[in-house]
Amino acid sequence: MQVGIIGTRVDARTISADKLQEFVGGLGLPVLGYLRPTQNYVHLAARGLTLFDVAPNKVERDLEQWQGITRWLDS
């Protein structure tokens, strides 16, 4: 079984993201990506949808953050 870390509600440009990377680095686990704090997830979940269920141009920034994660899952 493989384990990877996803930073949720983390801005990858912040000190908190650096601290997460530092902590996880000590565990020897890969950080697969960071998901920004956006209301898209809240609004979509309220409608029973995911990012992958709507027009890509409406959630483009979020889909970009999922690319590394889905690549890792597919490997």
Distance from C-alpha of 24 to C-alpha of 6, rounded to nearest angstrom: 10
Looking at residue 58, its amino acid is K
Domain limits for position 20 = 5-74
Single pTM value for the model: 0.78
pLDDT > 80? residue 12: no
Contact 47, 28 (CB under 8 A): no
| 18-72 pLDDT per residue, tens | 888 888 888 888 889 889 989 999 999 999 999 999 999 999 999 999 999 999 9
How many domains are there within the chain?
1
Q: What is the pLDDT of residue 52?
A: 95
Element (H, E) at 15: helix 15-27
